[in-house]
A and B are shown apart, each in its own frame.
Chain A
Amino acid sequence: MARILAVDDSASMRQMVSYTLKVAGHDVVEAADGQQALELAKGTQVDLVLSDVNMPVMDGLTLVKELRALPEYKFTPILMLTTESTLDKKMEGKKAGATGWLVKPFNPDQLLATIKKVLD
């Protein structure tokens, strides 16, 4: 299946996302902040990035901008996992180059349904 990069500073959220994806048969790499995620993404090509917005060191929006600047991540789907469901925030994410968003709280089924939308 797909190789997915899950980025969240919260370990419980990361574990939940990662476990759900693995159960669904995906290959998952995890990062605790944007900086780590960027390093990982440079080292290995992933098919999808799921990233939290609020994180220390490097936040999710900066991560999207950085990834989009890389040729190998120009068209890769990047989904933001966010509790900030306001339109402003979503527009900000979109401007940075995010593909879409998943509003927290979400359950495993919603997560899988959402990523199905972006994985071929």
Chain B
Amino acid sequence: MSIDLSQFHQVFFEESYEGLDVMESALLNLQPDKVDSDTINEIFRAAHSIKGGSGTFGFTDVADFTHVVETLLDEIRGEVRDITSDTVELFLKSVDCIRKMIQQHDVGDPYDATDANAIKAQFETILSNDLPTQAGESLAITPVTASHEIQNDSPAPHGWKIYFKPHQDILRTGNDPLRMFRELESLGPLIVAVDVSALPHISLIDPEACYLAWSLELKADVPKAVIDEAFEWVADESELSITPVVVEDDQVSAPEQLTPYRPAVKGSDLSKVEVTSIRVGIDKVDDLINMVGELVITQSMLGELGLDFTMKSLPKLLEGIEQLSQNTRELQESVMRIRMLPISFTFSRFPRLVHDLGRAMGKKIELKLSGEQTELDKTVMEKIGDPLVHLVRNSLDHGIETPQERLTLGKPETGTITLNAFHQGGKIVIQIIDDGAGLNKAKILEKAKQNGMVSDTDVLSDDQIHDLIFKPGFSTADQVSDISGRGVGMDVVRRNIIELNGSVEVESTEGEGSVFTIRLPLTLATLEGQLIRVGRQTYILPLISIVESIQSFQGMLHRVVGGCDLLRLRDEYVPIIQLSSLFNIPSDSKDMEDGLLVVVEGDNMKVAIFIDDLEAQQQVVIKSLEENYKKVEGVSGATILGDGTVSLILDIAGLIKLAGVQRHEYKAVHKGDDYAA
């Protein structure tokens, strides 16, 4: 029978990646001084599965490599060998190595075994060393030697004599002498004589025990190994003798041969096709199926109504349409949910990152993760990974002090970095919290003044000083280190996040630590939008960026000659952007006071947008303008409204840029109550 094992390869690869992730995170959790047997078992089991699978599916290099890893793990599991932080490092390296091997099989690339061999040699060195503990005791692992080792491999020309007296409990292990005899019978004529001499008196018989013994004669020209095989599982607990007989007899059938195992050769062309897939919880698929079911029912109801429509059935039609719109909405939500994955997919890479970086920098760090089950869209998740890595690196490099520094400061030697995610008002919030040194305001201010970003006379609030680290060109020579100074500054982090319609801000207390807070929309495919009208044009503002709307603002208006009009909003001045003049379209409002101002926040500043009217709020499906037309400044995309017209979605950061509202201008007036009039 031939079964193509390659059909199981993809599952094996995915399973192995998961297993490697499990190994990695468990290894990172391992405290070498306090070995937790559950954790070791978990690591062992993952390695064990990978070894078993790779052997079965023909990836012998992976199987060989994993074998040494597993052997050492087994010794640690059996407490015959201690685990040290160096062993943990070696295990981590081996995880990387196995991952690389599997990836190469996955894409069908030839494997370069140099690294693997080097790591394997390290394992072998450890394994060949004398055991540090319990050196006198023998290992639990013994070489594979079965007691019924084949002595005589040449077939007996005239068959075999067998005496078989099984252990009384043979039936209780699911073994059955009858089955063994049948197997022997398939090899050639079999003569069976039963020996009932051990049978007790009927009153003493345990019906589940076996008291019988047998003398058998197999007239088959087969090697002894074939007979051994029939008794393989019971031989060590039975009286068994197999001797050749010399009797004249007929030719017998050839022994059954097992085909040797050949690993399946992978077709490299086919395997190069990269598949991006997501795993979806079955409940989500169920929801979807239910929803489609509902939709079909509604559709058939409407269809029937349409066959024979009179005005009398109008209410029914309206009801049907209402139901249809509800179905559609629910279906859309369900489909969206399919793309939602828990943020643990992104968080999972951090334990390793923090471990490696902490080691490289000589810092002791504990990473805490919370809210890993918080879900967000796969595309958002893919794009937030790099900014998050940068922020975590930053916390490690600039935030957390060295163990010595921390001890002098009276802090615990080990610093803590917390990654926290939660939902808040239709957004996902991700925080990177550290208990390190916090931002050094004096130093930041000094740098900013050197760079001419702030003038000597400016008075900045703490938040404004902290915000300076996100400014382009702020990263300075003595801030750059091997870890975080890789040409990517905080300004790039902020820009990437803003491109996702999100925001990032920092709070920090000197000496106590920093909190970076990222807010992101849950998905990039749809947007909760506020429809606004200017003249005959309808635009959409992302609801998430709206702070408030103001109708009557007569006393709050400050006209600035040659500059931007300002709105005095409580204790700050907010620049006003006029869409009508920006986009050169007629507006209904002749006078400023006739219209409305929508205060929005983008690019970390507030602006007020002057419009004619606010219309409905609705969820809109975002269509890319860039893909279908070209990039338009101040517009992030387009959508089609219910009446079929195309409406542009405004991009606040782009509008600010387009309107030429300068940030330093804003800063100078911020909280400057006596400015302008």
Contact = CB atoms under 8 A, between A and B. Distances in A.
Interface string A84-108: 0111100100100111110011111
Interface string B226-262: 0000101100110000000000000000001011010
Interface residues of B, number: 49
A52 B530 CA distance: 58
Interface in A65-120: 68, 74-78, 83, 85-88, 91, 94, 97-101, 104-110, 112-113, 117-118, 120
Given A24-B1, A87-B145, A87-B147, A105 B173 contact: no
B458 to A, nearest CB: 61
A16 interface: yes
Interface string B10-52: 0110010000000000000000000000000010110011011
Contacts of B173: 94, 97-99
A109 B171 CA distance: 27
Given A83-B51, A87-B146, A109-B259, A97 B172 contact: yes
Nearest to A96: B173
Q: Quick one: which of B9, B145, B179 has the most chain A CB within 10 A?
A: B179
A120 B13 CA distance: 36
A1 interface: no
B115 interface: no
B233 A16 contact: no
Given A117-B179, A118-B179, A75 B56 contact: no
Given A9-B49, A105-B261, A120 B179 contact: yes
A15 interface: yes
Contact of B232 (A74, A87, A100): A100
Interface in A35-75: 54-56, 68, 74-75
Interface stretch (B136-144, B489-497, B504-512): B136-144
B208 interface: yes
Nearest to A24: B1
A10 B7 CA distance: 15
A113 B230 CA distance: 11
A23 B175 CA distance: 25
B45 A11 contact: no
Nearest to A116: B183
A107 B56 contact: yes
Contacts, number: 123
Interface residues of A, number: 44
A13 interface: yes
B5 interface: yes
Contacts of A91: 236
Contact of A100 (B144, B171, B208, B233): B233
Q: Quick one: which of B53, B174, B232 has the most chain A CB within 10 A?
A: B174
A16 B52 CA distance: 12
B57 interface: yes
B655 interface: no
Given A10-B15, A87-B145, A104 B56 contact: yes
Nearest to B233: A100
B223 interface: no
A87 B146 CA distance: 7
23 contacts: A9-B45, A10-B12, A10-B49, A10-B52, A11-B11, A12-B9, A12-B57, A13-B53, A16-B5, A54-B45, A56-B42, A75-B174, A94-B173, A97-B174, A99-B175, A100-B232, A104-B52, A107-B259, A109-B261, A113-B256, A118-B174, A118-B179, A120-B179
Interface of B: 1-3, 5, 7-9, 11-12, 15, 42, 44-45, 48-49, 51-53, 55-57, 63, 140-142, 144-147, 171-176, 179-180, 182-183, 208, 230, 232-233, 236-237, 256, 258-259, 261
Interface of A: 9-13, 15-16, 19-20, 23-24, 54-56, 68, 74-78, 83, 85-88, 91, 94, 97-101, 104-110, 112-113, 117-118, 120
Nearest 3 CB-CB pairs, A to B? A105-B55, A100-B233, A99-B174
